[in-house]
Amino acid sequence: MRRTGRHLRGGRRRAPPGVAGREHDRPGGRGSSAAARPTPGEDAASDPAAPTRTPAPSATTAPASPYASPSAPRSSAAPSQPTASGTPSAPASSPGATAPAPAPHVLRHTASGGRTVALTFDDGPGPATGQVLDLLAQYHAKATFCEIGDNARTRPAAVQRILAEGHRLCDHTVDHPQPMHTQSHEQQVAEIRDAKADIEAAAGNGAQISWWRAPGGDFTAENERIGADLGMKSLGWSVDPRDWSRPGVQAIVSTVQHDLRPGGVVLMHDGGGDRSQTVAALKQLLPWMVAQGYTFDFPQS
């Protein structure tokens, strides 16, 4: 069942404790809006114990943002229904409706270029996050975790472990509203701004968040500007194996091996449902990437 949000810091409704945000709709292309699948059941497993964390670098001071103050309440909206997944397509609109202006600056490449790959994981932290981190450590791989604000708030130890092991964080909104561009401007501000605050609070030690990622890749010029005003760039992807849909381990592996090019950004998921296929695919993909001469990088920032 799709959650529509919580009010906090001026009236935003919080979901009941322990209810994790999840991805209802996954893009099938290069970072635009997406498509319908039944919402998967959430694994009830608990977080792995977090190792002792070394302090993360302090964030640099960002320019004042028009959205920095969370005093404005988020208005409520009727829940939108999940849509099907496949090649991203714009949601149905009334005759004469104007499509939102596309986001012109979505990042889909590694910072260093060359034979590098940026691994990104959405919708966590979740029960599978610890397994993903264990595998990344085994292959000395670094990744970027695009976190749901609600999940970060309820699983702070996992967020702290991500940072302690040298990975980076990305804002993936409070509770994954979709399609995002149909929300009011104020609602979109609250989703991005409050998720950033939730993730920073869970991480502690002045963790810096350089990117945000729209649910389903539903980036527009409007929400890109909101993210930029909060000090974050829009992070898309170039490889999408649709692991959220659980197409089978070999389907995930084959898609990544076929579509990956030097400098690519791979989209996968560590939260939002049963991620056992993602973990199993990662066990094959990490040694394959190393054998192919790839090194692990972060996205452009």
pLDDT digits (tens, 9 = 90+) for 129-188: 999 999 999 999 999 999 999 999 999 999 999 999 999 999 999 999 999 999 999 999
* pLDDT confidence tier of residue 67, bands split at 50, 70 and 90: low
* pLDDT confidence tier of residue 24, bands split at 50, 70 and 90: very low
Pair 228, 112: CB distance under 8 Å: no
Q: What is the pLDDT of residue 105?
A: 92
pLDDT digits (tens, 9 = 90+) for 90-143: 333 444 456 788 878 999 999 999 999 999 999 999 999 999 999 999 999 999
CA 92 to chain centre: 24
Phi, psi torsion values for 14, nearest 5 degrees: -90, 145
Ordered DSSP codes for 80-125? PPP---BS--PPP--TTPPPPPBPS--B-SBSS-SSEEEEEEEEES
Pair 47, 155: CB distance under 8 Å: yes
pLDDT at 293 exceeding the cut of 70: yes
* pLDDT confidence tier of residue 4, bands split at 50, 70 and 90: very low
CA 201 to chain centre: 17
Following CA atoms 146, 152, 156, 157 in sequence, which dihedral angle do they give, to the nearest 10 degrees?
A: -40
pLDDT at 45 exceeding the cut of 50: no
Mean pLDDT of the chain: 78
Pair 43, 127: CB distance under 8 Å: yes
pLDDT at 82 exceeding the cut of 70: no
Residues counted in the chain: 301
Q: Which residues are catalytic?
A: 122, 269
Write down all domains in the chain, each with its CATH number in brackets: 116-296 (3.20.20.370)
pTM beyond 0.85: the answer is no
For residues 178 and 245, what is the distance between their CA atoms, to the nearest angstrom?
A: 17
**Which residue, among 165, 202, 198, 208, has the nearest Cα to 53 in the 3D structure?**
165
Q: What is the pLDDT of residue 104?
A: 83
Q: What is the pLDDT of residue 63?
A: 41
Q: What six digits make up the tokens of 92?
A: 């149905």
Q: What six digits make up the tokens of 163?
A: 């940072």
Q: What is the pLDDT of residue 103?
A: 76
Which position has the token pair 């990042």? 107
For residues 140 and 296, what is the distance between their CA atoms, to the nearest angstrom?
A: 8
For residues 275 and 26, what is the distance between their CA atoms, to the nearest angstrom?
A: 14
pLDDT digits (tens, 9 = 90+) for 210-261: 999 999 999 999 999 999 999 999 999 999 999 999 999 999 999 999 999 9
- Between 104 and 191, residue with greater pLDDT: 191
| H or E element in which residue 58 lies | none
- Between 97 and 85, residue with greater pLDDT: 97
Pair 83, 91: CB distance under 8 Å: yes
Pair 150, 6: CB distance under 8 Å: yes
